[in-house]
Amino acid sequence: MEISVIGCGYLGAVHAASMVELGHEVVGIDVDERRVAALRAGRAPFYEPGFEELLGRTLASGRLRFSADVAEAAGARVHFVCVGTPQRHGEYAADLRFVQAAVESLLGVLEPGQLVVGKSTVPVGTAARLAGLVAEKVPGALLAWNPEFLREGFAVADTLHPDRLVYGLPGGVDGALAERLLDAVYAPILARGTPKVRTDHATAEMVKTAANSFLATKISFINAMAELCEATGADVAQLADAIGYDERIGRRFLNAGLGFGGGCLPKDIRAFMARAGELGADQALTFLREVDNINMRRRIRMVELAREVLDGSLLGKHVAVLGAAFKPDSDDIRDSPALNVAAQLQLQGAVVCVTDPAAIDNSRRQWPQLDYAATAEEAAAGADAVLVLTEWRQYRELDPVAFGRVVAQRRVLDGRNALDREAWTAAGWTYRALGRRTD
């Protein structure tokens, strides 16, 4: 099938190449000419494991092309909208201007019988509004909402092997036609028995925000437990293991530490609260404000912990920060807890050197006043304390004995509860972590 994908960021670029992998012919459209040029040349414009290989393979098939001109989307049977919905400046609500622009630009090429499929995360009610616009301007064209659940770092696997497909369909015969087109797009995935949920526009939009709100709540729950553990001397990692054995609870997303960041969870819970307010249902989501508060408190607590370990003052102390991306296997620094803590430490007088395997360039652009080093050893040379704030494998696997030789003081703060406490302590390090006993 001929497919267009509008917006070639983390979501769209991976989606475009994955649709080729499924057997389709795809054009990816993006307004950013540099991004289009990189993708055409087979270069990933962002760090995502496995994506560059997939891009190379699918470009070589001759069925994938990229363009900055939406006219190239003409003739495609299905048009996926994969643009960003960032938080609006100074507000909680989502900024829908890119989604609006993408759909409006498609109106010029859209024909009756073709399907527009929204994948972006949008406030509930957006799809119905856009479906009205499409129906008015191009009678006979359809709109469905098909949210995407991919995680950065696992984007390729999540796109090719999703755990479920959610179709938000229009009513009546239009719904049946849209479903048939989506089934044809996803045929190889459906053939594996992947669950499919058919529903209306509003439910499909809410599935995405509800899922992200649940995940954020789970993380903040364990981080609230970490606060209590700090107050009582209990150990949050053992607590998480013990409650996680209960299948109803489950151990995943119960890793206490610096909390959640990134381009999705923080802004999605805020946009969800804003939308609930507009709908007169704000009380239903006031708990998400607390989820957000607990999450942001972890960053402040980390700075306090660093001050404590550094004998009560950050002034002039050399601090190495290992990790700047919001999570490992990503170069994404949007609302990164690690970078937020690094910047706060610097603003409060510490001399901070940051390292990250993938996110240094992005970090330097946002925080040029921090020092950067290529490796953990360089960042930690002569440091008074080392903070591990993003749990990249190379930091988890550091040898505490050898690493201990480069620092001035063997003090490590494990912001992600990712290090082997016993090994670090045995190597003479003072080990501190959020929600863990100090012994």
Q: Interface with ligand UDX by CB under 6 A: which residues?
A: 149-152, 212, 215, 219, 253-255, 257, 259-262, 264-265, 326-327
Contacts 24+ apart (CB under 8 A), 38-47: 39/8, 39/13, 39/66, 40/65, 40/66, 44/13, 45/8, 45/13, 46/9, 46/10, 46/13, 46/331, 46/332, 47/329, 47/330, 47/331, 47/358, 47/359
By beta-carbon proximity to ligand UDX, the closer residue of 319 and 333 is: 333
- Closest approach of Cβ 289 to ligand UDX, in Å? 18
Active-site residue, selected from the candidate residues 82, 229, 264, 353: 264
Is the separation of the CB atoms in 331 and 46 below 8 Å? yes
Tell me which DSSP letter residue 113 carries. T
Of 240 and 314, which has the nearer Cβ to ligand UDX?
Answer: 240
Q: Least distance in Å: CB of 283 to ligand UDX? A: 25
Residue type at position 67: S
Least Å from the CB of residue 262 to ligand UDX = 4
d(Cα 117, Cα 106) in Å, to the nearest integer?
A: 11
Nearer to ligand UDX, 138 or 219 (CB): 219
Q: Sheet with 385-388: list strands edge to edge.
A: 371-372, 351-355, 318-322, 385-388, 411-414, 430-433
Q: Least separation, in Å, of the C-beta of 75 and ligand UDX?
A: 30
Closer of 134 and 303 to ligand UDX (Cβ): 303
Q: Which is nearer to ligand UDX, 99 or 106 (CB)?
A: 99
How many CA atoms within 13 Å lie on the side-chain side of 121?
A: 28
| Nearest approach, Cβ of residue 210 and ligand UDX (Å) | 11
Q: Of 266, 265, 386, 408, whose CA–CA distance to 323 is shortest?
A: 386
Nearest-approach distance from CB 226 to ligand UDX, in angstroms: 11
Which residue lies nearer to ligand UDX by CB, 142 or 215?
215
- Nearest-approach distance from CB 261 to ligand UDX, in angstroms: 4
CB of 159 vs ligand UDX, minimal distance in Å = 10
Nearest to 380 by CA among 360, 351, 357, 416: 351
Min dist. Cβ of residue 126 to ligand UDX (A) = 17
DSSP state for residue 87 in the 8-state scheme:
B
Interatomic CA distance for residues 387 and 397, integer angstroms = 15
CA 224, CA 435: separation in Å to the nearest integer?
Answer: 9
CA dist., res. 221 & res. 241, Å (int): 14
Q: Which residue number, 57 or 151, has a Cβ lying nearer to ligand UDX? A: 151
Assigned token pair, 368: 């040029």
Tokens of 3: 């497919």
- Of the pair 255, 346, the CB lying nearest ligand UDX is at 255
CB 148, CB 15: distance < 8 Å: yes
For ligand UDX, which is the closer residue by CB, 30 or 335? Answer: 335
Q: Is 264 a catalytic residue?
A: yes
**Residue 157 in contact with residue 150, Cβ under 8 Å?**
no
- Token pair 């370990």 is at which residue? 309
Tokens, residue 265: 């969870």
Half-sphere exposure of 403 (CA within 13 A, CB side): 27
Cα–Cα dist 237/229, whole Å? 10
Active site residues: 264
